[in-house]
Amino acid sequence: MTGGDHTHRVDSPCSRVGLLSSLAALLGGVLLFACGSPEPPAGSGAAVEAIPIKDTVVPEVPAPIPVEEEGEQEQEQEEDDGHHVGALETYRYWAGEEPGEDMQVLNGEYWASAHWSKEYTLYLELRFPRAKDFVMGRGFEQLKEQQVIHGAPDWFDPPADYEVWEGNLGSLYFLHPKKGHIYIFERQL
Write down the domain spans for the chain.
Answer: 10-66, 74-188
Q: What is the mean pLDDT of residues 95-102?
A: 93
Strand partners, 123: 109, 185
Q: What DSSP designation does 103 have?
A: -
Q: How far lies 88's CA from each of 57, 67, 91, 175, 183, in Å?
A: 53, 25, 5, 20, 15
Which of 165, 162, 159 lies closest to 177 in space, CA to CA?
162
175 phi/psi in degrees, rounded to 5:
-125, 135
Is the model's pLDDT at 159 over the cut of 60?
Answer: yes
Is the model's pLDDT at 102 over the cut of 70?
Answer: yes
Q: Which residue has the higher pLDDT, 56 or 178?
A: 178
Is the model's pLDDT at 106 over the cut of 60?
Answer: yes
In angstroms, rounded to a whole number, what is the distance separating the alpha carbons of residues 165 and 169? 12
Q: What is the mean pLDDT of residues 35-53?
A: 51
Q: Which residue has the higher pLDDT, 109 or 28?
A: 109
With pLDDT > 70 as the criterion, what percentage of the chain qualifies?
58
Q: What's the pLDDT at 117? A: 76
Band (8; pLDDT cuts 50, 70, 90): very low
